[in-house]
Amino acid sequence: MTRGRIVRGAALFAAAAGVSYGLILNLCHAVFACGCRSWWNGAAEQCNIHEEGVRHCPWCAYGDAGFWLAMALLLAPQAVLSFWPARWSWGIRAAAVLAAFPVAGTAVAAGYGWYAGYWR
């Protein structure tokens, strides 16, 4: 792997990770309907984690460790795609890395929801 390819992969991954981090709470609410909002719009202030007698959002229920594990699992495919040694054009690689966010995020959320029994 050439130095230029590593730098481009790192730049792509950093940009994708920033987008993913910025949108993860929106995805959380889209999957769990829990009340989480964008970081700049209250974050987890309205999350059902603060209500008694209801099932709690799995990403919030497991605390910081649970959130950061979900984030790491979501970012892993983006990292792999950012550095994958395929001869993809920059646009195709960027599209694949960005598309990994909703795909991996939904899969991670589904796993958390299943494990926590959120939809029972």
User: How does pLDDT run across 2-25, given as a tens digit for each residue?
Assistant: 888 899 999 999 999 999 999 999
Across the chain, the runs of DSSP E, i.e. the strands, are none
pLDDT band at 120 (very low <50, low <70, confident <90, very high): confident
Tell me how many domains the chain contains.
1
What pLDDT is attached to residue 1?
65
User: How does pLDDT run across 39-55, given as a tens digit for each residue?
Assistant: 999 999 999 999 999 99
- Give the domain extent around 74: 3-116
- Alpha helices in the chain, H assignment, sequence order: 3-32, 58-61, 63-83, 90-116
Q: What is the DSSP letter of 40?
A: G
- Would you state the structure tokens that stand for residue 58, as one six-digit string? 């799995």
